[in-house]
Chains A and B, each alone.
Chain A
Amino acid sequence: EPEVTQTPSHQVTQMGQEVILRCVPISNHLYFYWYRQILGQKVEFLVSFYNNEISEKSEIFDDQFSVERPDGSNFTLKIRSTKLEDSAMYFCASSPDRGRVNEQFFGPGTRLTVL
C-alpha cells in the first residue's frame, strides 16, 4: 500500500540554524500539507500546497518557513533560522483531491529538537 514517507525521523539542530524536512507524498496525490505537533499539544495546520504554489497558510507559517517541491516526488519544509519554540513533531500529509471529504494521508513525522 502506498504511503507518505518523511526524513529524517529525528533532527537535532542549534538555535538559528536552517533545517530542511523532507517528505515524499503518495505518487498520484495532488495536494500536500505540513502540520506540526508541539509535545503534548494538538496537531496544527501549517501550510497547504497545490500546483506548485501555496494554497493556504496559517498564522504559524511566517517568513521563517518555506515549502518547495523541487522535483516530481519530494516536498520540503525549510525553517530558515530555527527558534527553541520550533521544537515539535512535523507531519507531512497528502491527498488525491480536495473535495468535501478531503481524506489526508500522513507520514510518520520528523521530530525536530532545537537546542
Chain B
Amino acid sequence: GDSVTQMEGPVTLSEEAFLTINCTYTATGYPSLFWYVQYPGEGLQLLLKATKADDKGSNKGFEATYRKETTSFHLEKGSVQVSDSAVYFCALSDLYGGSQGNLIFGKGTKLSVKP
C-alpha cells in the first residue's frame, strides 16, 4: 500500500541555519504531496503542497519539490527561526491509488531551533 517515510527527529538547529527534512513516498497512483506543521499545543496546518512532478510548493520561506524520479518531497528552508520550532509531517493523497484520497502521513519530525 501507499506509505510515507520521513527522517526521524528530533532535529536541533541554531537560528539562521539551513534546514532539510527528507521525505520519500511509495504510491500506487499519482499522488498529491503535502507538508503539514504542528506547532506546540495546536492542530495540523497545511504548510505547502505539490500536485505533479517537478512542482515546487512554497510558503513562509519553506520549499519542497515533487521529484517523481526519486519519489521524494524534501522540505527545505534557507534560514530557520526560533518560531519554526514545531513538528513537521510529510503526507500524500492518492485519490486513484492506495489511499483513495485519504491522507497518509509520515511519522513526523520534531524541529527545535535555538537562539
A-side interface residues toward B, CB under 8 Å? 4, 6, 33, 35, 41-45, 48, 55-56, 58, 91, 93, 98-109
Asked whether any CB of chain A lies closer than 8 Å to the CB of B32, the reply is yes
- B107–A42 CB distance below 8 A: yes
Q: Tally of A-B residue pairs with Cβ under 8 A?
A: 66
- B49–A101 CB distance below 8 A: yes
B residues contacting the other copy or chain, number (CB 8 A):
26
B-side interface residues toward A, CB under 8 Å? 30, 32, 34, 36, 42-46, 49, 51, 89, 91, 93, 95-96, 99-108
Q: Give 6 pairs: A residue, B residue, CB < 8 Å, sorted on A.
A: A42-B105, A45-B102, A45-B103, A100-B51, A101-B49, A102-B93
Within the complex, what minimum Cβ distance (angstroms) separates A99 from chain B?
Answer: 7
A42-B108, A100-B51 given; A105·B102 CB < 8 A: no
- The 6 tightest CB contacts between A and B, nearest first, are A108-B43, A106-B44, A43-B105, A102-B93, A45-B102, A42-B107
